[in-house]
Amino acid sequence: MTHTVNLVLNGERRAIALDDPRVTLLDLLRERLDLTGTKKGCDRGQCGACTVIVDGRRVNACMSLAVTLDGAEVTTIEGLAQNGELHPVQAAFIEHDGLQCGYCTPGQIMSAVALIAGGEAADIGDDPERLREAMSGNICRCGAHRGIIEAVLDARTRMADAKKEQAA
């Protein structure tokens, strides 16, 4: 039996036929839709390499069945840059060297974007330990944590400043 899943994927409406209801969002993105920026790490929801944003929340794509997301809005790392400009979090990761091997970077960035957009990062203040705890679902095995924390704090400030400028 074929199941059709309707998604808004990176701003584009998509109707996707699934022959198997057990397909995870991660496998759908990588294997069917060629969106390989979302990484397959542990495949158990523990490392965060597969983090995407679903309806404004960070989600481990390896733990989400695609058929359960009918009508959802899904943003992957490929959907962040707009009009050829990097998202502020992407730019901050580059400027603060928040990556080494880069494997965890897409998941880290998606987690940070959702954290900032959801207001959680504002509640953290400038406390790196609280931010580390908020980002604890995303593991970096290379040890780029210092750059990641600096990047998230910087991007949060930039995004808040941009929001103030738009309101003025």
End-to-end CA distance of the chain: 53
pLDDT given at position 97: 92
Taking only the tens place, the pLDDT of each residue in 50-90 is: 999 999 999 999 999 999 999 999 999 999 999 999 999 99
Instruction: Give the chain's largest Cα–Cα span.
Output: 53
Q: 23: number of CA atoms within 13 Å, CB side? A: 21
Taking only the tens place, the pLDDT of each residue in 103-117 is: 999 999 999 999 999
pLDDT given at position 108: 95
- Domains belonging to the chain, first-starting first, are 3-79 (3.10.20.30), 88-167 (1.10.150.120)
pLDDT given at position 102: 87
| Strands (DSSP E) found in the chain | 3-9, 12-18, 51-54, 57-60, 73-75
Its pTM stands at 0.92
**Average pLDDT rounded to a whole number, residues 40-54:** 94
pLDDT given at position 142: 86
pLDDT given at position 78: 97
Q: At 16, which amino acid appears?
A: I
Taking only the tens place, the pLDDT of each residue in 1-22 is: 899 999 999 999 999 999 999 9
Taking only the tens place, the pLDDT of each residue in 115-163 is: 999 888 777 878 888 888 998 889 888 888 899 999 999 999 999 888 8
